[in-house]
Structure 1
Amino acid sequence: MIRKLGEADRVLLMTLVSKDPALNLFIIGDVENFGFEQEFMELWGDFREEDGQLIAVLLRFYGSFIPYADGPFDAAGFAALMQAGPKFEMVSGSAETVQAVAEHLNIRKEKQMRFAELRELNSTLDTTAASAHAIRQATTDDVDAICSLTDQIEEFDNNPEDSRSSLRKTLETGTGRTYYMEQDGKVIATASTAAESSMSAMVVAVATHPAYRGRGLASRLVARLSADMLHEGRTPCLFYNDPQAALIYRKLGYQDIGFWTMLYV
């Protein structure tokens, strides 16, 4: 049985998703940061009929959906909810859960990435070492300068206007942070977090200007972000599918815990 979730279901929901806090960092972060009564966000739960146990949850955040299930669930019911909305753009989540939903959808494009988390930063790294490029924390005044760099990164397929709006909102709401480095007044490297919650945070938008690659700038930024997250009691997580990125993240201490699948309709 699927029904919409509200504030009265918070404990039930958090009990379910806290079984795998890294995998559910988006759901946990969005509920902690925005609650249940938002126009841009909705949550549904699949309850087992025989005992009323919550066994799966579906999050809508604007046009994106994330399902999570602790075992078999009503994948067809979740797919129907997605397609009933006015702006269904994509669904993402653990590979197994998303593929169960995909059987009931018409998919235009699929993308799969490795999902990694960091429990302990490599103790040989010095995240406070002096460098010619100081690490700065961004404010909303830095949005255009940072996005001027990320606009140049081929791997990023964000619309320039959307990327600026998203970064500004993240900084304004405190749901993430961005660190960056400058050279001659221009941003040359950056790394951010998103979906920060009491338990975890997602490292995103790691980028270095092509002219400054190979100098370890991205490694320093991710190391600093990761160290700060761990110090605050949050587990940093990230997606990647680039072999070069894998070398960087594994050197820092990140370990693969599964695959994250994104389906576009």
Structure 2
Amino acid sequence: MIRKLTEKDHQLVLAFLSEEPSINLFIIGDIEVFGYSSEFQEIWAEFDEQNTIKAVLLRFHQSFIPYAKGEFDTEGFVSIMKRYNQPVLLSGKSEIVEKFEAFDELTLGKKQVTFFAECLTDEFLGAEDHDIAIKQATIEDVDQIIKLRESIEEFHVRSDAREIFVQAMESNTARTYYTVDHGVITSCVSTTAENSMSAMIVGVCTRKDYRRQGLATAIMQKLFKDVLEEGKTLCLFYDNPEAGSIYKKLGFKDIGKWTMYRG
């Protein structure tokens, strides 16, 4: 049986999702921030005969994320997604979301597969460099951080990046640490989709003139220490094996693959 969840199901669904807090950080975060009665967000779950959750489907605006631990009613979830605009914006653990490729009635967007890694320890970071001053960003720093990201060739900065950045900071689902030299931000790293159990690392960058000075390592050390001391796991996506080898030296381990279908 599939039914829409309400606030009464909160502890039950969080217990189900918390067994893989990194994989489920988007679902957990959206539930904690936006709840069960928002116009742009809905959560459904499939239950077995013992009223135990088998699978969950989150809708956030036009994006869907399913999660299950075994076989689930894929067709039932498809019937829900068909009610909304096509193509379907779908993402999630690869072995789960790729089951939906078999349904011709769903129009899936362009497929992208990335590695998904998590870190539970800061023991591989080395000693902190206490000569490097690190600050935590406030709303006043947003414009300069966006400009720094725009200067990085590998980054694609969306037109609504500032609005998303501010909203995330105000809802405490993101934080950014940075270094500064004479009023100019030189390096930064952020979390996103941060919730009570996990946080994703994004936006690691250093201004070209300040690279190879240990700035990114220093702010990563600070971020790791603070997030892990709060009892959260750290996770990130990567699709470049070279980048993956760097993250693994910092203590990250692959826990699966993440597939996205985008229009």
Give the TM-score of the pair, scaled to structure 2.
0.90
Correspondence for 1:195:
193
Asked if 1:100 is matched to 2:107, the reply is no
Asked if 1:136 is matched to 2:135, the reply is yes
| CA deviations over 1:179-219 (Å, ceiling 9, x no partner) | 12234433332211122222211112222234433443323
Correspondence for 2:119:
118
Q: Using the alignment, how far apart are the partners of 1:130 and 1:23 within structure 2?
A: 36
Query: 1:87: how far off?
Result: 7.7
Structure 1 letter corresponding to 2:40: F
Structure 2 letter corresponding to 1:178: T
Evaluate the alpha carbon distance shift between residue 71 and residue 143 of structure 1 in structure 2; reply closer, same or farther with a 3 A threshold.
same
Q: Using the alignment, how far apart are the partners of 2:120 and 2:23 within structure 1?
A: 14
Q: Using the alignment, how far apart are the partners of 2:88 and 2:129 within structure 1?
A: 41
Query: 1:22: how far off?
Result: 1.7
- RMSD of Structure 2 on Structure 1 (CA): 2.1
Evaluate the alpha carbon distance shift between residue 39 and residue 201 of structure 1 in structure 2; reply closer, same or farther with a 3 A threshold.
same
Correspondence for 1:262:
260
Asked if 1:41 is matched to 2:35, the reply is no
Query: 1:75: how far off?
Result: 1.8
Asked if 1:55 is matched to 2:72, the reply is no
Structure 1 letter corresponding to 2:47: F
Asked if 1:150 is matched to 2:140, the reply is no
Q: Using the alignment, how far apart are the partners of 1:243 and 1:217 within structure 2?
A: 23
Structure 1 letter corresponding to 2:55: A
Query: 1:120: how far off?
Result: 1.3
Partner SS for 2:39? coil
Query: 1:61: how far off?
Result: 1.8
Query: 1:167: how far off?
Result: 0.6
Q: Is the 8 A contact 1:22 1:237 kept in 2?
A: yes
Asked if 1:209 is matched to 2:210, the reply is no
Q: Is the 8 A contact 1:117 1:257 kept in 2?
A: yes
Q: Using the alignment, how far apart are the partners of 1:44 and 1:155 within structure 2?
A: 37
Query: Larger deviation: 198-207 or 141-150?
Result: 198-207
Asked if 1:250 is matched to 2:232, the reply is no
Structure 2 letter corresponding to 1:181: T
Q: Is the 8 A contact 1:229 1:235 kept in 2?
A: yes
Q: Is the 8 A contact 1:28 1:197 kept in 2?
A: yes
Q: Is the 8 A contact 1:219 1:248 kept in 2?
A: no
Evaluate the alpha carbon distance shift between residue 88 and residue 184 of structure 1 in structure 2; reply closer, same or farther with a 3 A threshold.
farther
Partner SS for 2:177? strand
Query: 1:86: how far off?
Result: 4.2
Q: Using the alignment, how far apart are the partners of 1:155 and 1:2 within structure 2?
A: 42
Q: Is the 8 A contact 1:127 1:227 kept in 2?
A: no
Structure 2 letter corresponding to 1:40: F
Query: 1:254: how far off?
Result: 1.2
Correspondence for 1:84:
83
Structure 1 letter corresponding to 2:217: S
Gapped runs of 5+ residues in structure 2?
none
Q: Is the 8 A contact 1:223 1:252 kept in 2?
A: no
Evaluate the alpha carbon distance shift between residue 180 and residue 13 of structure 1 in structure 2; reply closer, same or farther with a 3 A threshold.
same
Q: Using the alignment, how far apart are the partners of 1:78 and 1:220 within structure 2?
A: 44
Query: Larger deviation: 162-171 or 173-182?
Result: 173-182
Q: Is the 8 A contact 1:43 1:57 kept in 2?
A: yes
Asked if 1:233 is matched to 2:231, the reply is yes
Query: Larger deviation: 207-216 or 217-226?
Result: 207-216
Runs of 4+ residues over 4 Å off in structure 1 = 86-89
Q: Is the 8 A contact 2:89 2:108 kept in 1?
A: no
| CA deviations over 1:32-85 (Å, ceiling 9, x no partner) | 22221222221111223x443321101122222211011111223323323422
Structure 2 letter corresponding to 1:202: M
Q: Is the 8 A contact 2:63 2:89 kept in 1?
A: yes
Partner SS for 2:56? strand
How many residue pairs align between the two structures? 261
Gapped runs of 5+ residues in structure 1?
none
Evaluate the alpha carbon distance shift between residue 151 and residue 89 of structure 1 in structure 2; reply closer, same or farther with a 3 A threshold.
farther
Partner SS for 1:84? coil
Correspondence for 1:159:
158
